Amino acid sequence: MTVTYSSKVANATFFGFHRLLCKWRGSIYKLLYREFLVFAGFYTAISLVYRLLLTGAQKRYFEKLSIYCDRYAEQIPVTFVLGFYVTLVVNRWWNQFVNLPWPDRLMLLISSSVHGRDEHGRLLRRTLMRYVNLTSLLIFRSVSTAVYKRFPTMDHVVEAGFMTADERKLFDHLKSPHLKYWVPFIWFGNLAAKARKEGRIRDSVDLQSLMTEMNRYRSWCSLLFGYDWVGIPLVYTQVVTLAVYTFFFACLIGRQFLDPTKGYAGHDLDLYVPVFTLLQFFFYAGWLKVAEQLINPFGEDDDDFETNWCIDRNLQVSLLAVDEMHMSLPKMKRDIYWDDSAARPPYTLAAADYCIPSFLGSTVQMGVPGLVTGGEFLSDPPRVSPPQSKRGADKNRLLCSFHGNCGGLAALVLEHPPGHLISPRLVLGEVVRNSNSAIKTPQQEPHQDPIPCTGLSRVAIHVSSGVFWGTWYNSHAQGLPSLYLVQPSQKDPPLFCTLSVSLSSKNPDFEDSLFC
């Protein structure tokens, strides 16, 4: 059975994979612990022989052999050969999964195209669907050891109800040295053509759709058969296996800790336990084990495909769809958004953080300086240099950006360059439900006194629901402008937002209006 752990890694957290490292079923530890113990045992045995049993001259010869093995073992291209091989195996494994035969499309067509609620119509639909499932069963028996153990003979197939006794006689009477998984396809086509003649399939287009979908299903089955027939070339598998095991055979001698008193390069320490060599074996041999497990996903490993479950599921679901659910419809009722032109499903408290504004493009939040009041184009754009302020060549400008969606969090950010005197005449922050909304008069007039701007000024509007109007007034905190908001009694969240901004300064050359 496939080991599923998707829910445990749904969120990326600090050291989030640590929970997966302790699992045994389907883990690399379960696959590799035998080979790892054998490698560690051989390494320990060679080390004990070198340290305790060899004479002085024999130790000198072993040390030269160890240095030689360590030097030339690195010339074996283990990483390149193994990495390319595992990539090939993983791609092949995934392609086999996406081509597993699923009868859902066929059962939809059979249920909607083959008419008749009498016993003959019901028998016709169930028989067509049974032929579809029989085809996949014959393919799975030929490629999956788990399915073959469940249905070792055709008698077990008949006993399980995938084939009748009469169909078994016809199947056995047909002499062919090849796998006869295609026979139910022929039965399906003949029965569908007969149903068209009887008027059970009322249109030739429906018959064509059935045959087209059945051919697609046949392609999935034949592709699985082809993957089982033509595997990765044996010579490549042999090369990879020999490369890995030859490399670690050389490491058994070449990675031994030698006598530090002899002054060999790289042998200044005698740690007894080759930590990094064991890690290297764990990674490289584990890589090879991954390929060994995935090269045939129809076996009985922990992560192989559950083909027996597929057979059970497909048969139960498909027969239910073409029989009990044939022409079965629930009573139609108005949905809860019948009179609501702005349908929006509710959020639970746990999902409140996932209520985000719609993406309207990356330029929506971009401020455009020098935009003309009212959004009209100039008939004759001026070709003059920008006005110079008393403080230098920096232009007077206003930046405005609008964030959020109506009914959620909205923010209006106003910025102007430092050092200028701004005298606001009227700034409206308006959120309307439609064009017919009544205009509310602001309850506070803006101050006409100049606002000294010694730094960057910012204002944020929080919109939750209803219609808002706001005006500027002079804040006494550090001379920065603020916004006054008036909230009417409306409770429904608005459909769209409109924010208009108009500013004027003491500088007669400065007139800037911006619409967001």
Phi, psi (degrees; rounded to nearest 5) at 459: -135, 135
Q: How far apart are CA 279 and CA 263, in angstroms?
A: 26
What pTM, to 2 d.p., does this model score? 0.67
Query: 10 Å Cβ neighbour count for 370?
Result: 13
Phi, psi (degrees; rounded to nearest 5) at 457: -105, 140
**pLDDT tens digits in sequence order for the chain, 516 residues long:** 678 888 777 777 787 787 788 888 888 899 899 999 999 999 999 999 999 999 999 999 999 999 999 999 988 999 999 999 999 999 999 999 999 999 999 999 999 999 998 999 999 999 999 999 999 999 999 999 999 999 999 999 999 999 999 999 999 999 999 999 999 999 999 999 999 999 999 999 999 999 999 999 999 999 999 999 999 999 999 999 999 999 999 999 999 999 888 888 888 888 899 999 999 999 999 999 999 999 999 988 888 999 999 999 999 999 999 999 988 889 999 999 999 888 889 889 888 888 888 888 888 777 766 554 455 565 555 554 444 444 333 333 333 333 333 333 333 333 344 443 333 333 333 333 333 333 333 344 444 343 343 333 333 333 333 333 333 333 333 443 433 333 333 444 444 343 433 333 344 443 333 333
Residue count of the chain:
516
Query: 10 Å Cβ neighbour count for 392?
Result: 8
For residue 480, with 0-12 CB atoms within 10 Å meaning exposed, 13-18 middle and 19 or more buried, which class applies? Answer: middle
Task: Tell me 17's DSSP state.
Answer: G
pLDDT at 500: 39
Helix and strand counts by DSSP (H, E) for the chain? 13, 9
Bridge partners of 165? none
Which tokens belong to 457? 């000024």
Backbone conformation region of residue 260, classed left if phi is above 0, alpha if psi is from -120 to 50, else beta = alpha
Paired sense of beta strands 498-504 and 469-474, if any = unpaired
Handedness of CA 217, 222, 224, 227 (dihedral sign): negative
Q: How far apart are CA 395 and CA 162, in angstroms?
A: 83
